[in-house]
Amino acid sequence: MKRILIPCMAAIAVLAGCDKTAPVDPDLDPAQSSEGTFYEWPEYTSVINYDFSQNSEDFVEPTENLPYAKYFRESKKKELTMEYSYGSWSYFAGPNANALVKEDTLAVQLMLEQLEEDSKYIRDVMGWPPTTLEKKGYRNAVFLYGSGLTTDDAKNTDTGGWQSWVNVYGTDYPILLLSYYPIYCFDPKCNYSDTYYHTHAVTHEYIHTVFNSMPGCQKASWFHEGADCWLQALMDAERAGDKEIKEFGWLCAGSIIAPFIPIECYGGWLHDGSFGGPNWMNQGLNNNTRRILGGIQYSEVFPSFMGEFLGKGSVPWVWMNCTGYVLEGIAKAMGDEQVRRMVKEYRARVALCDMGRYSNATLKIYKANMGESIGSDISGKTVEKWKATPYVQMTEDETGWLAPEERTLPGWTGANIVPIDVAALEELTIAFRPEGENTNATNMSCQLCYRTDEGKTVYGNPFAEGSYRLDLTADRPANDVVFAVICNTDYKYTNTIRKAKYDYRIKLCKDAALADIHTSWFDWKKDLR
């Protein structure tokens, strides 16, 4: 790869890429700049960890069901016409079962076998706790949606499946409520094209019953979905003996290709420019969602980051301790400074695909979504299309500072990534200034970082405002591009923060230039020059 450096001439002293014979820009004075780099993030001074094996009783496999038949018949005037048990699982259907599964005991048997195998692995090997039903000494339950039971009023041709609840003698129990469609997908003679998706989704719904048997995340629907996908993917990887996670789910795209979307977000970047809140109800979803980005709640990227860098007990800790919003709950244990640092680390690591066992999975999501034209996720609705890129469009304003595109400004805990061409530099100096009514130096951060051709990561110390000088002589960045990761660390969700955008300005020293935002700079393995 060709390197172009400014010639060192006796008559001209060059410092930080800035011509010192010219008037010094006070915003970019290297003498007033902070500096310092590191290659690995330091450990946290405070950690969160919960080990279920040290805080639970020995599990006794249940051998009986709740008295559903008696309860439905006496109180709801409903009849069970099929009851099938296997291990710690039971299946129940009413008189209006769809013909495809009405007498299909093979499909039911294979479904319960998968649930038994997966639930045992998650409980006995991975250490997660039993469900509420199991804790009470009863088998877990699957109810056939649309079959004429008290669980729903659906038709037997309706499709879908989810984790639901059944109330028996005044107590709510989390159960699986599945239509005929995913159940029939277990039958070997089923010729549906999406059988793999639906059979795996059944286990996804079981994991929800585990999570809903714990006190956490009462205001965090996004974490219910994302942590569910994380746990199932981790189970699959462990069983396969994989030392790295080969890929993320496709709905992780929003967390990676659109870093301006907040961490605690359900519904993604909405049509009106705001973001969905942490919970699915009454927090913006009626404003309509965008394709791919609208499913960001199913992204396992942040839970994966937690498990990888805060420790495998950090996600269980959330389920036992964060009864409201997740980041605010973590802050009560780790402190404000540590949570803000966590947000910065998460954003910088994703920018560099420096995600431990998930690094190549992160890179794969970048490659799959770069350049996609993303519009509305709602049929018949339109919204200005966005050409997907993790990098923000910058425009020089009348004062000489670079201003980011307004529509992709960071939301709370969101970030922008500015790619900077440093081919002509041995040093880079950048000035950063928080801007606007929602923004201040307390919750805004700028950090320079990059990978070398060999994949080595280089992180500059985050700074809140002022300027920063980065020496490039020891480790040259791949493709001569350095990233400025501008991060908002305001992690406390309120009803008004959902629409807040966090503005800022940056300034680059002489001979530094903005790199093209539609080039795949994240791929340090590829020569892009």
pLDDT digits (tens, 9 = 90+) for 372-393: 999 999 988 999 999 999 999 9
Question: What pLDDT score does 77 carry?
Answer: 65
Listed range (40-49, 75-84, 198-207, 392-401) with the worst mean pLDDT: 75-84
pLDDT higher for 187 or 5? 187
Stretch 3-30: mean pLDDT: 48
Separation between Cα atoms, residue 514 and residue 127, nearest integer Å: 48
Dmax (CA) of the chain: 98
Structure tokens at 74: 């006496």
Listed range (75-84, 278-287, 305-314, 450-459) with the worst mean pLDDT: 75-84
- The string of DSSP codes covering 204-241 is HHHHHHHHTTSS--TT-HHHHHHHHHHHHHHHHHHHHT
Stretch 404-422: mean pLDDT: 97
Q: Is the pLDDT of residue 14 over 80?
A: no
Give tens-digit pLDDT for 98-145: 999 998 999 999 999 999 999 999 999 999 999 999 999 999 999 999
Q: What percent of the chain has pLDDT over 70?
A: 95
Structure tokens at 54: 């040290």
Q: Letter for the amino acid at 79?
A: E
Stretch 322-348: mean pLDDT: 97
**Other CB atoms within 10 Å distance of the CB of residue 327:** 27
Residue with tokens 């014979």: 21
Question: What pLDDT score does 70 carry?
Answer: 79
Question: What pLDDT score does 1 carry?
Answer: 40
Stretch 415-424: mean pLDDT: 97
- The string of DSSP codes covering 83-147 is EEEETTEEEEE-TT--HHHHT-HHHHHHHHHHHHHHHHIIIIIS-PPPPHHHHTT--EEEEETTS
Question: What pLDDT score does 319 carry?
Answer: 98
Separation between Cα atoms, residue 446 and residue 460, nearest integer Å: 9
Give tens-digit pLDDT for 178-218: 999 999 999 999 999 999 999 999 999 999 999 999 999 99
- 118 with 131: CB under 8 angstroms? no
> Which band of pLDDT confidence, cut at 50, 70 and 90, is reported for residue 170?
confident
Q: What percent of the chain has pLDDT over 90?
A: 83
> Which band of pLDDT confidence, cut at 50, 70 and 90, is reported for residue 293?
very high
The mean of the pLDDT values for the chain is 92
Stretch 249-265: mean pLDDT: 98
Distances (CA, A) of 352 to 162, 257, 292, 362: 36, 12, 22, 9
> Any idea what DSSP says for residue 58?
P
Question: What pLDDT score does 2 carry?
Answer: 36
**Other CB atoms within 10 Å distance of the CB of residue 87:** 17
Stretch 491-511: mean pLDDT: 94
Separation between Cα atoms, residue 64 and residue 266, nearest integer Å: 38
Q: Is the pLDDT of residue 59 over 90?
A: no
Listed range (74-83, 88-97, 372-381, 471-480) with the worst mean pLDDT: 74-83
Bridge partners of 386, per DSSP, are 374
> Radius of gyration of the chain from Cα atoms?
26
> Which band of pLDDT confidence, cut at 50, 70 and 90, is reported for residue 55?
confident
Q: Which helix (H) or strand (E) holds 515?
A: none
- 402 with 484: CB under 8 angstroms? no
> Which band of pLDDT confidence, cut at 50, 70 and 90, is reported for residue 340?
very high
Q: Is the pLDDT of residue 19 over 70?
A: no
Separation between Cα atoms, residue 279 and residue 282, nearest integer Å: 8
Distances (CA, A) of 349 to 415, 475, 479, 481: 12, 18, 18, 16
Q: Is the pLDDT of residue 75 over 70?
A: no
Question: What pLDDT score does 23 carry?
Answer: 52
Rounding to the nearest 10 degrees, give the CA dihedral for residues 339, 340, 346, 347. 160
Question: What pLDDT score does 513 carry?
Answer: 97
Q: Is the pLDDT of residue 6 over 50?
A: no
Question: What pLDDT score does 440 carry?
Answer: 72
> Which band of pLDDT confidence, cut at 50, 70 and 90, is reported for residue 76?
low
CA 266 to chain centre: 10
Listed range (11-20, 164-173, 348-357, 440-449) with the worst mean pLDDT: 11-20
